Amino acid sequence: MKNPSPATELTFKGRTFGREEVGLVRDLVSSYPALSRQELANTACELLGWRRPGGGLKTWECKDFLEVLEERGLLTLPTLRATGRPVGRRTRVERTAAGETGELIEGSVRDVAPVTLRLVQEAEDRALWRELVDRHHYLGHEVPFGAHLRYFVEVAGPRPGVAGCVQLSSPAWRMQCRDSWIGWDDATRGRNLQRIVSNSRLLLLPWVRVRNLASTTLALVAQSFPGTWEERFGVRPVLLETLVDTTRFRGVCYRAANWLPLGTTTGRGRMDRAHERHGDAPKMVLVFPLQRDARDQLRA
């Protein structure tokens, strides 16, 4: 590896990283001190588009790269610790009786009030969340990249219990309609990207047929998660984003919750920077500003 100063580009294992990319990695590590080195490496690979010819992330190379940056005094990595399942991949989820179809719940939000969100933290809850999403969400369960929070949607009546699941996770690196709406150039996006959070899963269980429950859930998410996200990951989010597959859904609940439709993706996938999947399943992009000056903050 060359021995340039922090202000110049770095070449490592055959790839040259420009100043902006090195700065992006430094910002990622400093913004998410609670993530493991494995999670940081996977997220950095996504942000940098650092992949193998077959599409897999160059996680091991990136972990070495992070350690070299630390040796040069450019960042401080978290203490080594054990990691969990492979990030960004489908995982085998055990089937139990808890994930079977429950008794029908129907009516209006008033009939099941109060509706609450419960943060998933305990091992038993994590297992149930994974099973419900894997069984009943059309995308199934995947270990998310980078920072994430998971919630149960719970209702009080007529029978108290879990009515759905929500996942919030790291944002897409690049989406043209979102970036244009914000007014981003590449450098500003690199600095402020982690102030956006993706609503990557929204599931109401198929036996729960409660009018307006989805939009009520989205309103609760916007109100309750920013403080938890900041406490856990050290950055205050100012914008939520999501992708809606318009071949399956119309995004009605998002519109009812005052989310803004911005356009559609190119269908390249959230990290396809090499244009290898252009035109593959475009999706509607919707956003929800968590603060009135969200765009100004993201352009700062």
Domain boundaries, the chain: 10-71, 106-299
* pLDDT tens per residue, range 83-121: 455 544 555 678 888 888 899 999 999 999 999 999 999
Q: What does the pLDDT read at residue 68? A: 86
Structure tokens at 17: 């990283």
Q: What does the pLDDT read at residue 58? A: 85
The percent helix, strand, coil of the chain (3-state, each to 5) is 35, 20, 40
CATH superfamily placement of domain 106-299: Gcn5-related N-acetyltransferase (GNAT) (3.40.630.30)
Q: What does the pLDDT read at residue 268? A: 53
In degrees, rounded to 5, the angle at the alpha carbon of residue 264 between the alpha carbons of residues 172 and 220 is: 60
Report d(CA 280, CA 278) in Å as an integer. 6
Report d(CA 42, CA 82) in Å as an integer. 15
Sequence-distant (6+) residues with CB within 8 A of 1 are 10, 11, 12, 68
| Amino acid (one-letter) located at 290 | L
Q: Which residues of the chain have pLDDT under 70?
A: 1-8, 54, 81-92, 145, 267-280
Q: What does the pLDDT read at residue 215? A: 97
Structure tokens at 84: 């969990």
Q: What does the pLDDT read at residue 88? A: 47
* pLDDT tens per residue, range 152-192: 999 998 889 999 999 999 898 889 999 999 999 988 988 89
